[in-house]
Structure 1
Amino acid sequence: MDRLKIYSRGEVFPLINQRTGEVKLGEKVQFISSLANLDQSPAKFVLLGIPEDIGVRANLGTGGTQTAWLPALKALLNMQSNSFFSGEEVLLLGHIDVSVPTDNSLTVLRNKVTVIDGLVYPIIEKIIKARKIPIVIGGGHNNALGIIWGASLALNSKMNVVNIDAHADLRTAEGRHSGNAFTYALQNGFLAEYRIFGLQQNYVSADLLKYVNNNNANIKVLYYEALLKSERSIRKNWEAFVRDLPNPCGLELDLDSIANVLSSAGSPSGFNLSDIRSILLSNDKKFHYLHICEGAAELADGRQDPATAKTIAILVSDFIKALHPHTSQQPEA
């Protein structure tokens, strides 16, 4: 496999639950037959899935992140098309089809993540060169490297990235996995400033703390514990944190930052969904991409949560509405 699977309208249509008197987003989203046709679509946002858990397992995490994409896509396609969000703004590209190694050794899994990186970055590069904004649904956080890489090439510039995450994902460059995408992005010259919003102190090793403190010109952190003690709202803290983030910039959202969302490293403590929705809906930064990762509908240990799909769909909708103000305006009475 190891290829981009481009969707057609006919393939996607069975996912839509049609009702008389209603129009769903899935009936309005755009399609293309080839990446060469990106420029021909008027849609501003390009939806891409990377349903894999190889990077998570290569980081000794609980697998299952490959299960988020299809349910999330179905939830999004079955939202109502209306004046707030019509669906015509979205080009549904497809997903990256990745073959799963039969050998589960760390060496094989980490080598496979490198292969995935090589699949991701050229697609992201082409999307952004076509003056569109990729919205990527994972998959593990390992895919941040390919996204940042592709964006950097498309814009001929290092990227500046803010990551809403309970973890830093700055582990050593010991072979590719979900815990070191930003390490590799920094070392390979694709990433300039890296900011982490909501990093939880309980997940910061002593070595990581030294690394962050020694790279304060490139890395900026606002700890979740500081947010808990702050008299300002989460949104106000977010606005202050990203106000001077230089362009070009990208937005990473690890679902383990939201309390009780089923993810590879989920936690009972974290942002509530309304906090993140408020951040996205109030956003006025011209982000060049959105990456939502680490969520799962079912984990390898048997835990399941169908709500993950709707959570992702809501966040995608909010991001698009914020960057298309005319779709967020209340219709006149």
Structure 2
Amino acid sequence: MIHLAHISPNHISEIVSQRPLETHIGEQCQWLTELNPAALSQAKQQGARFALLGINEDIGPRANLGRGGSGPGFLACLKQLLNWQANDFFQAEQLLIVGEINLSIPVGSAEGLRRQLPLLDETVSHVTQQLLRAGLEPIIIGGGHNNAFGLIDALYQVTSLPVTAVNLDPHSDFRPTEGRHSGNGFSYAAQSGALGQYQILGLHEHKNSHASLQQLAQFNGRFHSYQAIWQRRQLSLTDAIADIIEHLHQGAPLALELDVDAINDMPSSAMTCAGVPLADACYYLYRFGRECQPRYCHLAEAAPSCHPAGFEAGMRHSGQALAELVMSYIQGRLSHLLPR
């Protein structure tokens, strides 16, 4: 069963701590209690710009024959981000906490899980369309990277233009369209016509099948590999980002994607010890937020239970990293307003 769960005002105190002479983001941000045009319009009139939406599911990675655990990322992020300070660097009323799309399905076969995913795609697209139509910028956290398909579809439906996607990810997620899972969100989006251009930063040369790379090439997808930037140092991260920006389709709506399994030692279904530094992932989001006009930002695949020290350590680690990523994106979007 799929539903959008809002956070009750009665439960805010369980997430946000209070201290004398301090004001936290969670005490000044806005909280949505009902998803409808009137409520979204009111929030926007009260200063909301960014809509924080969670997706609590792990069937996409499991349908891809991977590990589960990507459900609690949104809650992990809230527990950190909303306890940061509301100060001159961020006016917290600009942040609207929408709630979390919840999907819970017992362990089953990969084929059975894949049959469930189209309904999740529809729900993700429907909710995101409402946020986009209200003039808000969604920041989506949690769940598998399969949800990129629903998000790209939402942006396509709202703009009626093929979407350009930029993705920091060791995997292309351009596997054959043999059934929905976390490894083919972008190939399904391309097949549907919603995705018009695709560029990948940090693609790992040894973690993508020949079939995926061939299909990506046929789509004219572009990438700068992890090995070229961080291992062989053939070009800098700054130059790689500049090249991606230079090749963006002009006038196309931009989807900004990040799979946290790109980040070194980040708890995820495909956790790696040879990944991108968190600071570089933050720079990626800041730079695109500052220089381009993304319509949404998607942070996928955080899996606290995959932390080697256990779930609680994973919640702290994931939450801190996700909060840094969210704020890096927001500061990029608001760079012209930051104190100097």
Deviations 1:264-318 (A, max 9, x none): 1111112101111222233321100000011111139985423111100110011
DSSP 3-state at the match of 2:31: coil
2:41 to 39, 42, 62: 39
Q: Check whether the contact 2:137–2:296 (CA below 8 A) recurs between aligned residues.
A: yes
2:118 to 114, 120, 125: 114
DSSP 3-state at the match of 2:147: helix
1:240 equivalenced with 2:239 (yes/no):
no
Q: Aligned in 2, Cα 1:193/1:324: closer, same or farther, shift over 3 Å? A: same
Q: Check whether the contact 2:228–2:235 (CA below 8 A) recurs between aligned residues.
A: no
Query: How many angstroms apart in 2 are the aligned matches of 1:50 and 1:198?
Result: 24
Q: Normalization by structure 1: what TM-score? A: 0.93
DSSP 3-state at the match of 2:201: strand
Query: How many angstroms apart in 2 are the aligned matches of 1:187 and 1:302?
Result: 40
Query: How many angstroms apart in 2 are the aligned matches of 1:135 and 1:62?
Result: 24
Shift of 1:87: 1.5
1:288 equivalenced with 2:295 (yes/no):
yes
1:310 to 320, 326, 333: 320
Q: How does 1:200-219 map to 2 (within 5 A)?
A: 200-216=204-220, 219=221
Q: Aligned in 2, Cα 1:27/1:243: closer, same or farther, shift over 3 Å? A: farther
Q: Check whether the contact 1:52–1:98 (CA below 8 A) recurs between aligned residues.
A: yes
- Residue 298 of structure 1: aligned partner: 305
Q: Check whether the contact 2:176–2:211 (CA below 8 A) recurs between aligned residues.
A: no
Deviations 1:75-133 (A, max 9, x none): 11111111111221111000012132x35112221112111111110111111111111
Q: Check whether the contact 2:175–2:211 (CA below 8 A) recurs between aligned residues.
A: no
- Superposition CA RMSD, Å: 1.7
Query: How many angstroms apart in 2 are the aligned matches of 1:33 and 1:93?
Result: 8
DSSP 3-state at the match of 2:21: coil
Q: How does 1:179-190 map to 2 (within 5 A)?
A: 179-190=183-194
Query: How many angstroms apart in 2 are the aligned matches of 1:115 and 1:180?
Result: 16
Query: How many angstroms apart in 1 are the aligned matches of 2:285 and 2:173?
Result: 22
DSSP 3-state at the match of 2:71: helix
1:155 equivalenced with 2:159 (yes/no):
yes
- Residue 96 of structure 2: aligned partner: 91
Query: How many angstroms apart in 1 are the aligned matches of 2:242 and 2:20?
Result: 42
Q: Aligned in 2, Cα 1:196/1:74: closer, same or farther, shift over 3 Å? A: same
- Residue 61 of structure 2: aligned partner: 56
Q: Aligned in 2, Cα 1:303/1:10: closer, same or farther, shift over 3 Å? A: closer
- Residue 223 of structure 1: aligned partner: 225
Could you list the runs of 5+ residues in structure 2 that have no partner in the other structure?
none
State the identity as a percent. 35
DSSP 3-state at the match of 2:206: helix
Deviations 1:198-227 (A, max 9, x none): 1000112222232223332xx111111111
Q: How does 1:9-88 map to 2 (within 5 A)?
A: 9-36=9-36, 37-42=39-44, 43-88=48-93
Query: How many angstroms apart in 2 are the aligned matches of 1:125 and 1:66?
Result: 22
Query: How many angstroms apart in 2 are the aligned matches of 1:282 and 1:170?
Result: 25
1:267 equivalenced with 2:272 (yes/no):
yes
Which AA in structure 2 matches 1:38? Answer: L
Query: How many angstroms apart in 2 are the aligned matches of 1:155 and 1:115?
Result: 22
Deviations 1:235-288 (A, max 9, x none): 332122223313310100000111111111111112101111222233321100
Query: How many angstroms apart in 2 are the aligned matches of 1:98 and 1:191?
Result: 25
Query: How many angstroms apart in 2 are the aligned matches of 1:13 and 1:285?
Result: 36
- Residue 5 of structure 2: aligned partner: 5
